[in-house]
Structure formats: C-alpha cells, structure tokens
Chains A and B, each alone.
Chain A
Amino acid sequence: MKRTGSQIFVESLKAEGVDTIFCYPGGATLNITDALTDISNIRQIVVRHEQGAVHAADGYARALGRPGVALVTSGPGATNTVTGIATACMDSIPIVVFSCQVNTMLIGNDAFQEADIVGITRPCTKHSYLVRDVKDLARIIKEAFHIASSGRPGPVLVDIPKDVSSAVCDFKYPEKVHIRSYQPTYVGHQGQIKKAMRLILHSKRPVLYTGGGVVLSNASQELTRFAEALSIPVTNTLMGLGGIPGNHPLFLGMLGMHGTYAANMAITESDLIIAMGARFDDRATGKTDEFAPHAKIIHVDIDPTSISKNIKVDIPIVGDTRNVLTQMLKIIDEDKETYRQHHKNVAEWTGKITRWKKDYPLTYQKNKELKPQYVIERVFGLTKGKAIITTEVGQNQMWTAQFFKFLKPRTCLTSGGLGTMGYGFPAAIGAQAAFPKSLVIDIAGDGSIQMNIQELATAVQYNLPVKVIILNNGFLGMVRQWQELFYEKRYTWTHLHSPDFVKVAEAYGAVGLRIEKESEVDKILKEAFRNNRPTFVDVHVSPKECVYPMVPAGASLKEMLLV
C-alpha cells in the first residue's frame, strides 16, 4: 500500500504500540503533525520546551519500562533536546527521539533552522539515524525501537527530513529486526557463573552492590530472593534504589558520596563484592584505589564496556542481570543445603553490619527549624511508599535517596549519571502520563524547579496532576554545601532569589500551597495529595542544612563526614 512518509511514521508508531508522544511543532514537523490529526490512540502531549519533551519521554520510560517517544522540529527544536538525550544516555533509558530536518537537498547548506543533530548527539546517543530515503523509514523506526530497548538500553535519535515525510512509497512494517552488527549477550556464561558461586560460598564478608541494571532488567524480585537465599547484605547506587525494598532487613541503604555509614563500611571491609548492573561510577566508589581493598569482585553487566573500566574485576559475567540471577538461583535451588549452611559463614558479618546500622543510622539534627529531611520522611509516611517519586538534582535528590524508602523498582526517577537540574518535573509529567491514576511527586529544589518550570502549563493543559514539593532553602544548596565545607563559606553565586512559587502555580492555573512550620507539614501535604490537580508545595526549609554522611570528592569511602 502506498503511504506518505508521515503516514508511515504514524503507522509505525502504532505498530510499536506507542500510546503517548511528547512533542513540539515547527516548520519541519508539519507533515507529521498533520498526519497525527485525529489519531486518537496516540496521545500527543505538547510540552513548552523540547528539553521537557525528552525528560517526559524518559520519565514515561523509567516508570513504565517501555520506550518513551519525543518528536521535535529541526534546528533549535532539535538542539533543545540535547540535555534530555544526554541524561537518558547516562542512565541507559530507552527513548526514541524523532527530530525533523530540513529538506534533503538543503542539508549541509546552512539552511534556515538546519542543525546537524545527528552529529551533535552522536556521543550521547546509543545510536542515531538520518533517514535519507522514505523507503528506509519503516525499517529505521523498527530498528530504533529495538536498539533503544534491548541490550543496555539507551536513547536513539531518528532525524527525518521534511521531504522524506512527504515522499510516497509502499509501506509494510517489518516484522523482525536483524542487525548483524548488534547482538547483545543476554545469558551469562555458565562457567563464569559457577566460578562466581564458588567464590560466594567461600566468602565471609560478601556485599551485593547493585545499580540501575537491576531496575532496567526487572530483576528486583530475583535480586531479593538471591540476597535472602545467601543472607548477603545489599547496597544500591542511586540508580538502583527500589531494586530491593528499602525496608528490607538486608538493605544497607545507598553507598557512595552520600551513602550510609553501614554501606560504605561494608564495602570497605568486604571480602567479596558482587556488583550487578552497576558501573563503579566515581560517586559510588570514592577513591578507586581504596575501594573495597580486601575484596574480590564479581561483576554482572550486560555492557562489556562497564566491566573492568574503573575497577579491575576478578570474575566478569556479561549478561542481563535478571537472567544471570535466575541462572544463579537455579544453582542454589539445586543445592539448597550447602547454600543455607553459608548463612553461618556470614553470620558474624551480618551481625557487624546490623550494629553499624544501629549505631550510625541516617539522621539529622532536630531543632525548631523545619528540616528538609523531615519533609521527605513525611512524604514517605503519608504515601506509605506508594508513589512514583522523581527528583531534581542537588540536596533535594540526596535527601530523597536517603529518607524515602523506595519499596518498589521504577518508583525512583532521578538523573543519576548526568545530574540534570530540571529533570524531575518533566519526568514526573511523563510518569503521570504513563500512570494517570498514580500519585506522582517531584521532590524539587528552588533552583532546579526553575529550569523547567514552564512545563507547569503542560501539566495543567493535559490535566496531569503531578505534585511538586519544592524544598525551598533559598540556595543552590548542594553547591553551597561544598562552599561551606571546602571554600570557607564564600557563598558566591549560590544565593537564590526566587519568585513566590504559590503565586506562580496559581498564575499557571495550578494549585499553590505553602509550608513554613513543621506542624503544617502533614496537613498541607495531605491536601496536596488529595486534590486532583497539578500542585506546587513551596516548603520553606532551613536554609543551611547539609547532606550527611559525606565522602569528600577524591577521598575513600571510609572517610565519611557524619552529622
């Protein structure tokens, strides 16, 4: 059947099961925009800035586990997506970004609104395409979704020139993808797995160090079973939160720069680190020379480049974490008694860890001021953990990671790798679009929220009732914290003058609420969670609170500054 490029685009999205796109129009999108008229089974959420579209697609993907889609125009529309794409790339999030491009004939001529977006995004995409012939469009879209969501997921960009979207050709959506140069390894090498299991049986102080890979591969049940079967304590990276319930007795909390005392000490004294779907990022490891100095390391990851990149590994296992955990659980199930015996070997260790957890819990100084940590504790308490939480970047993000006990995977949506301020709000919009009935909360800072505050108009227009809790400390708090600790309290550039967020919310047609005292917290939060409208809660928290524990940059994990 003959179809225009734009119709092929629409049909291909339907064939991929896309139900929502985040988009923004321009001259180059017009053919496609027009073809989407009256296409009611693809919800089209028009954002207010293309960065917002990409973060929303990313939030949708993280919450749902299916690729998110953004569609933007050429030139500035395309360049506005770069931060969003880089954010998704660092955190391995499956999104497909369609950018429209000037006519094929004009490419390279510095045409109006031309940007070499394939070139600009090359280092921050998993793969990218410039569609030069309408005949390739369907195949490319098929490949783009496949590449984005398979192996180690990531963003794929597809650049569609305007003449390609109007050209006509036969259309049949390909059923299968075959890319001879792309075949990720899903199943772990059985020999390596057996070696790993032997090492585990011989360990006395094992620790599971798990990251976003566990969440991405939907392996949290397997991880929890595995940890329980062997009585191995678990620490998560920021990206791994929710991979094991945050209230599980074997859970140590997050490790790294703002990790818990128990997690960082466990790593330091461990004799065996079992890393799963984590990549030994410097924020997690601290000084690499002194990371787990007594431990052998087993590393399970689907991406071979992550293995032995920062830290030399003893047993590499390339594979999907869920598959590998399943393979490991099978070995355990075949020899239950031996593995149960292992609990005795590690009893002394788990005892020590329990004491660390008790003696050095996450805490903060409670006084008359309204503490941001308290607010997050109450958000957890009132929601009982049943919410999708996004964060911005800075102290707000770290306190959320520490004090919200993520009970389930895909409920902690945060820019871990790139640390993108302005991520949380549009990501919350995306997550809300994926789960219209869920409570979706962005825990924000007064600085970060201003980086994509325009999306409040989107939330209002599409009736996406996200809640934004602004931990308003009057500072770019995390940077101020570094200045306090390492730059003799010279708060250059970090003091913020913000607008009245309640009035801002109201001006957009959303609900604005304010909290100034501890006694108001529960009442106002309940009010915010109860109403069915987008809501800003401006919480005036104590201005100079710091995030602790803190491992100074470049120090080893055991050198923590405590409260």
Chain B
Amino acid sequence: MKHTISLLVENEFGVLSRIAGLFSGRGFNIESLCVAESLDPTISTMTIVTTGNDAILEQILKQLNKLINVIKVVDFKDIEYVSREMVLVKVNAEEKTRAEILRIVEIFRGKIVDVSSKTYTVMITGDEDKLSAFINLIRPLGIKELVRTGPIAMARGERMLKIKETENKGGEEDG
C-alpha cells in the first residue's frame, strides 16, 4: 500500500541523510521524496511517498518521530489532502506529430517550456493519475527523456502542518 507522509524537519545540515539512512537501514521503501525550505526558513518540509502494510507504516512514522531533528510527522492516511507533482517530458517533435503533441498538452493544461528543431519539452503538473495518463498518451509519439518530481502534499481545508510549542510528538494516543 502506498502512503504519503509529510514532515517538518530542522533545516539543518545532515538531516536529509538521517532520514534517507533511516529508510535504508530499516528496509523501508522510498518511492519519492521532495524537500525544500518552508515558510519558516529554519524548517524544511518533506513529502515522502512510501509503501508498506499498516504495521510497517506505523514503524516508519514512529521511527521518523524518534529522529531528533524531525519536528512533526503527518501521515495522510485518514486525512483529506491534495497532492501534486510535476513532470518534464522531452518528446520527439516531428512535422507530422507536432500538432498532436500540442493538442494533448492543451488537454492536460500543460506547457511547452522548451523547443528545438526536433523536440518539445513539456511540463505537466497534477496528481499521479493525471501524469500517468499523459505519459501513456504521449509515449507512442516518442519520449526521449522524462523527469518527475514526486508528489508534494497538503491537507485540504483549514488543517495545517504546523508546530505547537508544547508539541508532544512521542505520545501514544488513546489506543
């Protein structure tokens, strides 16, 4: 089962390697990992997509929480959230396929971000299904290169990923 997890971590030297090391050392999977500075420059936000059953997910969340530099961990399992990723695709753009490419890009509300005499570089954002659908449609036209960011995620509505000063991140809630 796939899970999306969001983390707030100290924006410090070495934190990424602690997290990556935790996953590899304990045999957890990382499907994708996105990280960048948050609104507060001392904190980075990470979105990790991982796979595993409920017991594994529980361990992943607990182990992440246990890392000293991790401020907060949220699993989107029971939370409504939006998730978006971006893909850049370099496709063969020949005389006879250009129009077709443009049409597909338009349907997916993508953008051509670079053009050469033989290629278009297309940018599409969306959720995983949308990106996969796009890639499937464009594949027969000849994909030369493809780069995906992996998703970033955010809870819907008023809910926010933020820290309370008295946060007690270790506590087992009522079981």
The interface of chain A, by Cβ under 8 A from chain B, is 118-119, 122-123, 126-127, 130, 132, 147, 151, 179-185, 189, 191-192, 303-305, 307-309, 312, 315-318
* B129 interfacial by beta-carbon distance below 8 Å: no
Q: Is B163 an interface residue (CB 8 A)?
A: yes
Shortest beta-carbon contacts, A-B, top 8: A181-B71, A318-B172, A305-B62, A127-B68, A185-B170, A123-B25, A185-B171, A316-B172
**Is B78 engaged at the interface, CB distance under 8 Å to the other chain?**
no
Shortest distance in angstroms between A495's beta carbon and chain B's nearest beta carbon?
36
- B168–A308 CB distance below 8 A: no
CB distance from B21 to the nearest CB of A (A): 5
Q: Does B58 contact A (CB under 8 A)?
A: yes
For residue A183, which residues in chain B have a CB less than 8 angstroms away from its CB?
Answer: 166-170
Once A122-B21, A308-B58 are accepted as A-B contacts, the answer to whether A181 and B70 lie under 8 Å apart by CB is yes
Query: Known contacts A184-B170, A185-B168: does B175 contact A179 (CB below 8 Å)?
Result: no
Point out the residues of chain A lying under 8 angstroms from B68, CB to CB: 126-127, 147, 179, 181-182
Roughly how many angstroms separate A14 CA and B13 CA in the complex, as a whole number?
Answer: 28
Closest-by-CB residue of A relative to B63 is A305
Q: Pick from B17, B163, B171: contact of A180, CB below 8 A.
A: B163
Q: With A and B bound together, what is the CA distance between A123 and B22 in angstroms? A: 7
Contact indicator A304/B13 (Cβ below 8 Å): no
Bound Cα distance A144, B25 (Å): 23
Tell me the nearest residue of chain B to A306, going by C-beta: B62
Residues of A within 8 A of B10 (CB): 181
- Using CB atoms, name the residue of chain B closest to A195: B175
Asked if residues A119 and B17 are in contact (CB atoms below 8 Å), the reply is yes
Given A307-B172, A316-B172, 19 additional A-B pairs, CB 8 A: A122-B17, A122-B18, A123-B25, A180-B163, A180-B165, A181-B71, A181-B72, A182-B68, A183-B166, A185-B168, A189-B173, A189-B174, A304-B171, A305-B59, A305-B63, A305-B66, A316-B175, A317-B172, A318-B172
Measured between beta carbons, the chain A residues less than 8 angstroms from B59 are: 305, 309
- Interchain CB contact (< 8 A) of B13 among A130, A181, A308, A318: A130
In contact, B71 and A192 (Cβ under 8 angstroms)? no
A123 vs B18: C-alpha distance in the bound complex, in angstroms? Answer: 8
Complex: A309 Cα to B9 Cα, angstroms = 24
Residues of A within 8 A of B13 (CB): 130, 132
Could you list which residues of chain B lie within 8 angstroms of chain A, going by C-beta atoms? 9-10, 13-14, 17-18, 21, 25, 55, 58-59, 62-63, 65-66, 68-72, 163, 165-175
| A308 CB contacts on chain B under 8 angstroms | 55, 58
Bound together, the chains give a CA A318 to CA B172 distance in angstroms of: 6
Q: How far is the CB of A166 from chain B (nearest CB, A)?
A: 22
Q: State in angstroms the CA–CA spacing of A271 and B127 once bound together.
A: 49
Question: What is the CA–CA distance of A123 and B70 in the complex, to the nearest angstrom?
Answer: 15
Complex alpha-carbon distance, A92 and B71, angstroms: 22
Q: Give the shortest distance, in Å, between A1 (CB) and chain B (any CB).
A: 28
User: Across the interface, do A123 and B172 meet the contact criterion of CB distance under 8 Å?
Assistant: no
A184: B residues at CB distance < 8 A: 170
When distances are taken between beta carbons in the complex, the residues of chain B under 8 Å from A189 are 171-174
Q: Which residues of A contact B63 (CB under 8 A)?
A: 305
> Considering the chains assembled together, what is the distance between the CA atoms of A184 and B59 in angstroms?
17
**A233 → B minimal CB distance (Å):** 26
8 residue pairs bridging A and B, Cβ less than 8 Å apart: A119-B17, A123-B21, A180-B71, A182-B68, A185-B170, A185-B171, A191-B174, A192-B172
Within the assembled complex, what's the spacing in Å between the Cα atoms of A305 and B58?
Answer: 9
Residue of B21, B62, B71 with most chain A CB atoms under a 10 A cut-off:
B62
* B62 adjacent to A304 (CB under 8 Å): yes
State in angstroms the CA–CA spacing of A151 and B168 once bound together. Answer: 12
A307: which B residues are within 8 A, CB to CB? 62, 172
Find out whether the CB atom of A304 lies under 8 angstroms from the CB atom of B65.
yes
Please give the distance in Å from A484's CB to the nearest CB on chain B.
33
Bound CA span A316–B58, Å: 13
Contact check, B174 vs A318: say whether CB atoms are below 8 A apart.
no
Q: Indicate the member of A119, A182, A304 with the most B CB atoms within 10 Å.
A: A304
Chain A residues with CB under 8 Å of B17's CB are: 119, 122
The smallest C-beta distance from A324 to any residue of chain B, in angstroms, reads 12
